[in-house]
């Protein structure tokens, strides 16, 4: 599971790290959103993948889903650029090994990521085997298969958050009333 988690993190970097990354480029060029982030939410019992597209319209939701799934299929069929994957792997490995201060706190959080759910406390404190495994997988179609799993249509959930056009005005009115009450 740890290897798959780090492989998924690697793929999120590959897909959305820069404006030239395939998924981010697709969304930006087609005008489907103004920003794209893709992250693996871990440290919980069941990790999940979160694709966030900011500043888009609710009506574009179906088109976004269709375009994303088509891109994933295309990338899986054509193969991922192994040099870019390797660069992302190097970056993630560096971040895992070079922990900023307070190191003790970060290590404790890593211990809890596994231990809270019945896993081995040391699981996320060592990386040699994980990064060796991922480097070996660069020679195979492991990442393409994982990409397809990550974007399995049967497991996708779409959540559209629509801002309230009146929330700001209502908050301002409430604040004005509260201040008036305090002044009395």
Rounded to an integer, the average pLDDT of 102-108 is 86
Helices (H) and strands (E) counted in the chain, each on its own, are: 8, 2
> Does residue 52 surpass a pLDDT of 90?
yes
User: What would the pLDDT profile of 2-40 be if each residue is shown by its tens digit?
Assistant: 899 999 999 999 999 999 999 999 999 999 999 999 999
Per-residue pLDDT, 133 = 97
- pTM of the prediction? 0.82
Query: Which of 90, 68, 77, 78 lies closest to 24, judged by CA?
Result: 68
Query: Which of 85, 74, 108, 69 lies closest to 6, judged by CA?
Result: 85
Rounded to an integer, the average pLDDT of 99-121 is 84
Query: Which of 154, 118, 145 lies closest to 4, judged by CA?
Result: 145
Helix axes 61-78, 142-150, angle to 10 degrees: 160
């Amino acid at each position: 599971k740890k290897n798959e988690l780090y492989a998924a993190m690697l793929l999120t970097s590959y897909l959305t790290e820069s404006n030239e990354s395939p998924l981010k480029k697709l969304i930006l060029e087609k005008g489907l959103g103004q920003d794209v982030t893709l992250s693996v939410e871990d440290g919980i019992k069941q990790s999940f993948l979160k694709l966030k597209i900011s500043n888009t319209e609710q009506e574009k939701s179906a088109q976004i889903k269709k375009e994303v799934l088509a891109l994933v299929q295309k990338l899986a069929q054509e193969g991922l650029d192994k040099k870019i994957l390797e660069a992302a792997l190097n970056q993630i490995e560096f971040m895992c090994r070079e922990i900023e201060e307070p190191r003790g706190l970060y290590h404790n959080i890593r211990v809890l990521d596994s231990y809270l759910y019945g896993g081995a406390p040391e699981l996320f404190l060592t990386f040699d085997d994980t990064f060796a495994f991922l480097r070996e997988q660069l020679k195979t179609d492991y990442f393409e298969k994982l990409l397809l799993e990550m974007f399995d249509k049967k497991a996708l959930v779409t959540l559209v958050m629509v801002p309230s056009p009146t929330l700001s005005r209502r908050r301002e009115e409430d604040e004005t009333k509260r201040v008036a009450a305090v002044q009395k």
